[in-house]
Structure 1
Amino acid sequence: MLCQKQQDLDEMVAEAKKEAKKGEVATYIPALAKADPNILAVSIFDGASHCFVSGDSEHLFTLQSASKVITLALALMDCGEAVVFEKVGMEPTGDPFNSISKLEAQFPSKPLNPMINAGALAVSSLIKGETAQDKLQYLLHFIHRLSGNKHITYNKEVARSEYETADLNRALAYFLKQHHIIEGDVNLLIEFYTMQCAIELTCDDLAKIGFVLANEGRNHEGEVIMPYEIARLVKTFMVTCGMYNASGEFAIKVGIPAKSGVSGCILGAVPNRLGIGIYGPALDEKGNSYAGMKILELLAAHYHLSIF
């Protein structure tokens, strides 16, 4: 049975990999432009001592926007729902992830949800620490617990590249500060946010993080890493907002709680069943991995993984 599952996964990856030809790697962050667009790697973790893997599952990549899921969980654990959702809303948006238009058009001018950049900046401002490094180490400690890998750190080259090209995020942060959504030093926040996005791991690590979310906040050893209600909230945001402004179509076609990043990664969490980690850096026009989206569609159809 295990051999058949591995064969099925390899075949689906080979089919999904054809989609990579349609996409391009992210270039607006120069360090990400170096990625090989032909890579597709998948890890699926069911709570046993191993992952089902296909492709180069040990290839390192950065979390980018997939980190928004983790900082949201940490901020909710530390600050509570009332504080977090005073800063950021719960509604999906059809706008691009880096849009500022909705902030200007509504009152109060708080971001619609934590999965767009403005919302992620508001959430990241709540992470504990006096300096950017303090905040990063605090977040990394949480990621070490989620993944079971204490060696995860961040890619300094990617972080520096992001910091040097973060003018739009700076604009978003200054707008939020003007409207009292965030407090404190904007440059410190941008420094932390770019390091947060540059946290580097593998598909195996990502699948184990996804498993904690899928398993109601418990890891494969039964240890509670986050409360059930926070895992539920986070998965809900993944469904409604996790795939940028393609989230509605993705929910219909795939139906798996997921969060993508412009590195080409996708974090998936099938409730009470599986954690999924994917890396395929060739992106569509909305910033999602072409091949990653396809492999999730194939997996969902073959194994009936949709939550709907």
Structure 2
Amino acid sequence: MPCQSSDELKALVEEARNCTKNGKVADYIPALGKAREDDLSIAIHYPDGRCLSAGDIEKKITLQSISKVISLALVLMDRGQDDVFKHVGMEPTGDPFNSIVKLETMAPTKPLNPLINAGALVVTHMINGDTVKERIQRLLVFVQELTKDATIRYCEEVARSEFETSYLNRALCYFLKQHKMIAENTDIEQLMELYTMQCAIEMNCLNLARIGLVFAMDGIDPQSGKQIIPADIARICKTFMVTCGMYNASGEFAIKIGIPAKSGVSGGIMGAVPGKFGIGIFGPALDEKGNSIAGIKLLELLSKNYKLSMF
């Protein structure tokens, strides 16, 4: 079991915080550029309800790409594996998360996996509902169940900021629509509205650690005993987190840290240590791959000190 006390965790956070000076806050989404570069916090949520934390864990962050794992779980529950994987693949990529290159060279033209932007847009367009409002509400209800927090919403400022600057994602959508991976009757502006709301879902590190815990426990909420996510779908999501969850640094992350995890350009990282606990991290200074530079250092320290790697 890692960290017997919050004091141990605080010491690791302070050691990792030194890395923040080597990173940069994402500012291509203007609303994210307001974050403090030296922020770093972590929560670790155990099955028995205990939670260890360090840093300002109440500070809210938007999920960004972490939301891709949650929407994938929901769509797999709604549509089934056969339908979902007709439209998106299962393979990792060495390209940046927003790259269009593989779409142009693959036959058929299908996103390599659901955790790159192209694949996530395909998955989001499969969320059930007749309107953007119905579909984002469906996703929010799912997130609220995972976190046991009915107050969770999306940040309108961040959603609007992303919507107004998402030129490349629009291009990906039209390319995918041309190749019938996104349905022909899809209104791309409505899809972009839904996707930017999804990415702007807002929570704190404790909420994030609790979602990680549900995935770590094979989809079961350990407090209530309820199977929120079917075990096989939780397994699929964790596998994608290992192979694709840290953008094109996923292989190095698997070797150095070795747990299922998903990052977002807000600086969030959600970790799921199988059968043990969930982790939520916020550190907005990013490395060149788009991952929290101090968050990864913190996970390296935890994994080394407490032998977290599943490999």
2:301 corresponds to: 298
Does the 8 Å CA contact 2:113/2:119 hold for their aligned counterparts?
yes
In 2, Cα distance between the equivalents of 1:86 and 1:99? Answer: 20
In 2, Cα distance between the equivalents of 1:102 and 1:51? Answer: 41
| Residue in structure 2 matching 1:240, options 217, 239, 243 | 243
2:23 corresponds to: 23
Q: Superposed, which structure 2 residues align to 1:159-170 within 5 Å?
A: 159-170=159-170
What is the one-letter code of the residue matched to 1:155? C
In 2, Cα distance between the equivalents of 1:261 and 1:11? Answer: 24
1:220 corresponds to: 222
2:34 corresponds to: 34
In 2, Cα distance between the equivalents of 1:4 and 1:104? Answer: 50
What is the one-letter code of the residue matched to 1:240? T
1:196 corresponds to: 198
1:286 corresponds to: 289
Query: What is the SS of the residue equivalent to 2:286?
Result: coil
Instruction: Kindly state the Cα deviation for residue 3 of structure 1 after the two structures are TM-superposed.
Output: 8.4
Q: Report the more deviating stretch, 297-306 or 159-168.
A: 297-306
Query: What is the SS of the residue equivalent to 1:102?
Result: helix
Instruction: Kindly state the Cα deviation for residue 27 of structure 1 after the two structures are TM-superposed.
Output: 0.7
Change (3 A) 1:241 1:104: same
In 1, Cα distance between the equivalents of 2:99 and 2:159? Answer: 21
1:55 corresponds to: 55
Instruction: Kindly state the Cα deviation for residue 132 of structure 1 after the two structures are TM-superposed.
Output: 1.4
Q: TM-score, normalised by structure 1?
A: 0.98
2:263 corresponds to: 260
Query: What is the SS of the residue equivalent to 1:143?
Result: helix
Change (3 A) 1:4 1:272: closer
Instruction: Kindly state the Cα deviation for residue 164 of structure 1 after the two structures are TM-superposed.
Output: 0.1
Instruction: Kindly state the Cα deviation for residue 2 of structure 1 after the two structures are TM-superposed.
Output: 9.8
In 2, Cα distance between the equivalents of 1:247 and 1:298? Answer: 17
Structure 1: tracts of 5 or more residues without a match: none
Q: Report the more deviating stretch, 210-219 or 294-303.
A: 294-303
Structure 2: tracts of 5 or more residues without a match: none
Instruction: Kindly state the Cα deviation for residue 155 of structure 1 after the two structures are TM-superposed.
Output: 0.2
Change (3 A) 1:210 1:156: same
Query: What is the SS of the residue equivalent to 1:154?
Result: coil
2:252 corresponds to: 249
What is the one-letter code of the residue matched to 2:75? A
Query: What is the SS of the residue equivalent to 1:291?
Result: helix
Does the 8 Å CA contact 2:2/2:306 hold for their aligned counterparts?
no
In 1, Cα distance between the equivalents of 2:202 and 2:278? Answer: 18
In 2, Cα distance between the equivalents of 1:213 and 1:261? Answer: 17
In 2, Cα distance between the equivalents of 1:2 and 1:37? Answer: 27
Q: Report the more deviating stretch, 294-303 or 2-11.
A: 2-11
Aligned residues: 308
Q: Does 1:175 align with 2:175?
A: yes
In 2, Cα distance between the equivalents of 1:147 and 1:172? Answer: 31
In 1, Cα distance between the equivalents of 2:245 and 2:3? Answer: 32
1:277 corresponds to: 280
1:10 corresponds to: 10
What is the one-letter code of the residue matched to 1:258? A
1:187 corresponds to: 189
Q: Encode CA deviations 1:92-144: one digit per residue, 9 max, x unaligned.
A: 00000000000000111010000100000000011011111111100000001
What is the one-letter code of the residue matched to 2:274? P
Instruction: Kindly state the Cα deviation for residue 301 of structure 1 after the two structures are TM-superposed.
Output: 1.1
In 1, Cα distance between the equivalents of 2:66 and 2:219? Answer: 17
In 1, Cα distance between the equivalents of 2:219 and 2:49? Answer: 18
2:66 corresponds to: 66
In 2, Cα distance between the equivalents of 1:77 and 1:2? Answer: 33
Does the 8 Å CA contact 2:75/2:84 hold for their aligned counterparts?
yes
Q: Does 1:132 align with 2:132?
A: yes
Instruction: Kindly state the Cα deviation for residue 50 of structure 1 after the two structures are TM-superposed.
Output: 3.2
| Residue in structure 2 matching 1:211, options 203, 213, 219 | 213
In 1, Cα distance between the equivalents of 2:161 and 2:4? Answer: 43
Instruction: Kindly state the Cα deviation for residue 22 of structure 1 after the two structures are TM-superposed.
Output: 0.4
Query: What is the SS of the residue equivalent to 2:25?
Result: coil
Task: Give every structure 1 segment of 4 or more consecutive aligned residues whose post-TM-superposition deviation is greater than 3 Å.
Answer: 1-4
Change (3 A) 1:39 1:177: same
